[in-house]
A = this chain, B = another copy of it.
Amino acid sequence: METTELYPPFTVGVDLGGTNTAFAIVDSVGHIVATDSIPTRTPTVEKWADNLASRISRMIADNRLEGLVKGIGIGAPCANASTGCIEAATNLPWPSPIALVNMMESRTGLRTVISNDANAAAIGEMTYGAAAGLKNFIVLTLGTSVGGGIVCDGHLLSGRSGFAGELGHVTFPFASDRLCSCGRYGCLHTIGSADGIRETARRMLAESDEPSVLRDIPQKEMTPKKIQIAARDGDRLANLIYEFTGRCLGKAAAEFAAVTDPEAFILFGGVSKAGDLLLKPMREAFLEYALFLYKDRVRFLLSKLRDADAAILGAASLPLSI
């Protein structure tokens, strides 16, 4: 860190995952000053909050940043920005709802803002990443689940209960034969998530006799990354898997464009590491399917948040913007 100039104000970004809680002090342009983590699996949420609050306070003191930290941002599944609570998060070990904002503000004296992962990613891209300067864009997070963060006219859309941008649960005919974890058929989640890609691979391998290095990988061990490596090595089926996925995302983007008129779609998360393997068919399908008003006006970008820190940076950006 010695050679990096830092720009106040600082914020603390917290990525609350099912297993670990990672956090960092971040400056206003996205430099990470210090990082730490604690286990999420503690007997009670109060214990976890006590631990997190004391570690954050110590980290601020160790870096001599007392009085210079503007707030804490927490990205978590099912976090409702308007109530300050986590509602019905199935991957956390504590009963819901969890009044996270109150718990952290009372323990640290720092203003705390929470948001779901995809919305945090959208604010992160706008603050430090690929959406710098953009006022109308949609972030699609393609990972364990598919989420959306929509910025329209410079505002992150929250909606009545903080559930705007659930783009993983918009349904499409191209997925009408895929059952989603939400109990419905056709959700974009069933195509663009890691499980979705895995299922596409399973189907394509079953429907064809074509040789593929993917045939040597047991279904349980199939990952987006392995398919990406195979595709880059020229494996035709692996390429077709991403082409199918990209085209589905492009058709979906054509519909989303008519709702909020964005200037860009930004892909975030593990599945998006396929890069052009995904962006090229996405762009092509968008041009085929979008209403004329939106054609040729929309860009398709990859997240510019550094891989390992993306979730923390998204969270850290929240107190700067909300």
Nearest Cβ distance between residue A6 and chain B, in whole angstroms?
Answer: 33
Nearest Cβ distance between residue A96 and chain B, in whole angstroms?
Answer: 13
Tell yes or no: A308 within 8 A of B by CB: no
Does A159 contact B261, Cβ atoms closer than 8 Å? yes
- Chain A residues 160 to 178 lying within 8 A of chain B, measured CB to CB, are 160-167, 169-171, 173, 176
- Known contacts: A160-B136, A182-B291, A182-B292. The answer to whether A258 contacts B166 by CB under 8 A is yes
Question: For residue A173, which residues in chain B have a CB less than 8 angstroms away from its CB?
Answer: 173, 176
Complex partner residue of A170 from B135, B157, B164, B259, CB under 8 angstroms: B259
Tell yes or no: A260 within 8 A of B by CB: yes
Render A232-272 as a binary contact track against B, CB cut-off 8 A, 1 for contact: 00000000000000000000000110111111000000000
Complex partner residue of A163 from B161, B166, B255, B261, CB under 8 angstroms: B261
Question: For residue A167, which residues in chain B have a CB less than 8 angstroms away from its CB?
Answer: 258-259
- Known contacts: A159-B153, A164-B152, A292-B182. The answer to whether A259 contacts B258 by CB under 8 A is no
Complex partner residue of A159 from B136, B163, B182, CB under 8 angstroms: B136
Tell yes or no: A225 within 8 A of B by CB: no
Tell yes or no: A150 within 8 A of B by CB: yes
A sample of 16 more A-B contacts (CB under 8 A), given A135-B160, A153-B155, is: A150-B259, A152-B158, A155-B155, A157-B157, A157-B261, A160-B261, A160-B263, A160-B297, A161-B261, A161-B293, A166-B258, A166-B259, A169-B291, A171-B255, A184-B289, A259-B259
Q: Which A residues are within 8 Å of any B CB, using their own CB?
A: 135-136, 148, 150, 152-153, 155, 157-167, 169-171, 173, 176, 182-184, 255-256, 258-263, 289, 291-294, 297
